[in-house]
Chains A and B, each alone.
Chain A
Amino acid sequence: KAGVTQTPRYLIKTRGQQVTLSCSPISGHRSVSWYQQTPGQGLQFLFEYFSETQRNKGNFPGRFSGRQFSNSRSEMNVSTLELGDSALYLCASSSQGWGDTDTQYFGPGTRLTVL
């Protein structure tokens, strides 16, 4: 089985722009979560989607949004980019969803640099 894939792997944007990152989960997995990793704040949970519905959301401003498609692929969008949004964005997938906890498998991440 192919692992979690994320595109693009690297991205450079300027302040004020917006960006869309994509994540394809492991085949058969229906839950997709997003995390932000920075040297200062570490790994922080952004949101989780299951069956096209956002199930859980972290403490990030409304500029961060996401969605999930019927094939379980997910995208996250960051609008009005700030320098502090520079980070590694990681996507994780798991097979379980509502009410269950299951092991999550991570993709390689998208490295976003905001200039």
Chain B
Amino acid sequence: GEDVEQSLFLSVREGDSSVINCTYTDSSSTYLYWYKQEPGAGLQLLTYIFSNMDMKQDQRLTVLLNKKDKHLSLRIADTQTGDSAIYFCAETLTGGGNKLTFGTGTQLKVEL
């Protein structure tokens, strides 16, 4: 079945790197995504990775995918106060079309 888990909370200092982790159970993932949600707002697509890739880098963001362990991570370099938000990982599955299964979300707090 579909189950996507994330740690609930992460606190980092401004300028440090943040690493947000996600584990999933279904091995038929096609794409895996990271979304950001600020208070009172919708979801902003940050980046995504195809399931046959190991890594993707996009400016300050690095996504690592370990298919064997079903583990996905998002690294944010030089974290800024504007990065404070809730981060969701999500997956689409083979045969599932555009249906996204979301993780529980990780609240990132960036302190000065």
The residue of chain A having its C-beta at the shortest distance from the C-beta of B96 within the complex is A56
Count of residues in B whose CB is under 8 Å from the partner chain: 23
Binds A, one of B10-18, B19-27, B36-44, B61-69: B36-44
Which chain A residues border B92 with CB–CB below 8 Å? 101
For residue A96, CB closer than 8 A to chain B, the reply is yes
B98 touches A33 (CB 8 A): yes
A/B pair count, beta carbons within 8 Å:
67
B42 touches A109 (CB 8 A): yes
For residue A55, CB closer than 8 A to chain B, the reply is yes
Which chain A residues border B99 with CB–CB below 8 Å? 33, 45, 48, 56, 58
The residue of chain A having its C-beta at the shortest distance from the C-beta of B48 within the complex is A103
For residue A22, CB closer than 8 A to chain B, the reply is no
The residue of chain B having its C-beta at the shortest distance from the C-beta of A44 within the complex is B102
The residue of chain B having its C-beta at the shortest distance from the C-beta of A35 within the complex is B100
The residue of chain B having its C-beta at the shortest distance from the C-beta of A90 within the complex is B42
- Hey, what's the 0/1 contact readout for B69-112 against A, CB within 8 Å counting as 1? 00000000000000000001010100011111111110000000
Which chain A residues border B98 with CB–CB below 8 Å? 31, 33, 48, 55-56, 92, 94, 96-97, 101-102, 104
Which chain A residues border B45 with CB–CB below 8 Å? 103-106
For residue A66, CB closer than 8 A to chain B, the reply is no
Q: How far is the CB of B107 from chain A (nearest CB, A)?
A: 12
Between-chain CB contacts (< 8 Å), 9 pairs: A43-B100, A43-B105, A55-B97, A55-B98, A56-B98, A94-B98, A101-B98, A102-B98, A103-B31
Q: Which 4 A-B pairs have the closest CB atoms?
A: A43-B102, A106-B43, A106-B42, A108-B42
